[in-house]
């Protein structure tokens, strides 16, 4: 029943979001700028660099991930960190609910606002398209159902760029509750 409700809301929201107003486009553009600014946060960059140095076996972790509880050590290492809290506060300031996460260079999860469906994000569009973007560019994924967030989410992806390494070191994905976007004023 819960999935059916989610599906109905997703379909209805998809219809309302498929013809965006000029005002909504301005909000999305403003949000994209905010996500780029967040990607420059030194804490996010440092945490991503540290993760990349660990050489995590992403496929082994991805295999274990679905069985792990939200309170397990492995999940808390991603959702209970100061960087995860920065992401959580950023999302809550904009849309009250949604999700945010950082993906490392190998496609593994660096930090997240909540437990994601899978650990390895390397096969997701938001990762490989995000890694191919230039610094300060974004990719916007219009409102779509998100099973880990259990909401209709508008996602904005941008690379996390390290000036020290002179390259993209990961990807920041920020997802906003698409229904709430109609009521917010993110740039004011």
Q: What is the pLDDT of residue 1?
A: 35
Dihedral pair phi/psi, residue 171, rounded to 5°: -135, 140
At 121 the pLDDT is 96
Under CATH, domain 2-183 is a member of which superfamily? PAS domain (3.30.450.20)
Give the length of the chain. Answer: 188
Q: How confident is the model at residue 20 (pLDDT cuts 50, 70, 90)?
A: very low
pLDDT band at 8 (very low <50, low <70, confident <90, very high): very low
User: What's the mean pLDDT in 49-56?
Assistant: 95
For helices 42-54 and 82-95, the axis angle rounded to 10 degrees is 130
**Residue boundaries of the structural domains of the chain:** 2-183
Q: Do 44 and 36 meet the contact criterion of CB atoms below 8 Å apart?
A: no
> What are the DSSP E strand ranges found in 20-163?
98-104, 109-112, 139-146, 151-162
Half-sphere exposure for 106 (CA within 13 Å, toward CB): 19
> Which pLDDT score, from 0 to 100, does residue 22 have?
59
Percentage of the chain lying above the pLDDT 90 cut: 64
- Predicted structure pTM score: 0.83
The closest of 115, 109, 90, 106 to 31, measured between CA atoms, is: 90
pLDDT by residue (tens digit) across 80-130? 999 999 999 999 887 777 899 999 999 999 999 999 999 999 999 999 999
The DSSP-derived string for 47-77 is HHHHHHHH---HHHHHHHGGGS-TTSHHHHH
Which pair of tokens denotes residue 53? Answer: 């140095």
């Amino acid at each position: 029943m819960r999935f059916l409700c989610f599906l109905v809301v997703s379909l209805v929201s998809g219809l309302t979001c498929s013809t965006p107003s000029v005002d909504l486009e301005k909000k999305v553009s403003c949000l994209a700028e905010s996500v780029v600014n967040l990607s420059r946060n030194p804490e996010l960059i440092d945490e991503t660099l540290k993760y990349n140095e660990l050489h995590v076996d992403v496929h082994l972790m991805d295999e274990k991930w679905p069985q792990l509880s939200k309170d397990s050590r492995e999940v808390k290492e991603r959702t209970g960190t100061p960087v995860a809290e920065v992401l959580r506060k950023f999302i809550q300031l904009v849309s009250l609910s949604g999700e945010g996460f950082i993906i490392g260079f190998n496609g593994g999860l660096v930090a997240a606002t909540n437990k994601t469906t899978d650990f390895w994000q390397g096969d997701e569009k938001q990762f490989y398209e995000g890694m191919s973007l230039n610094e300060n560019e974004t990719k916007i994924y219009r409102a779509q159902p998100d099973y880990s967030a259990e909401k209709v989410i508008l996602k904005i992806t941008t690379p996390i760029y390290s000036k020290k390494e002179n390259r993209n070191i990961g990807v920041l994905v920020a997802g906003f509750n698409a229904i709430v976007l109609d009521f917010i004023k993110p740039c004011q």
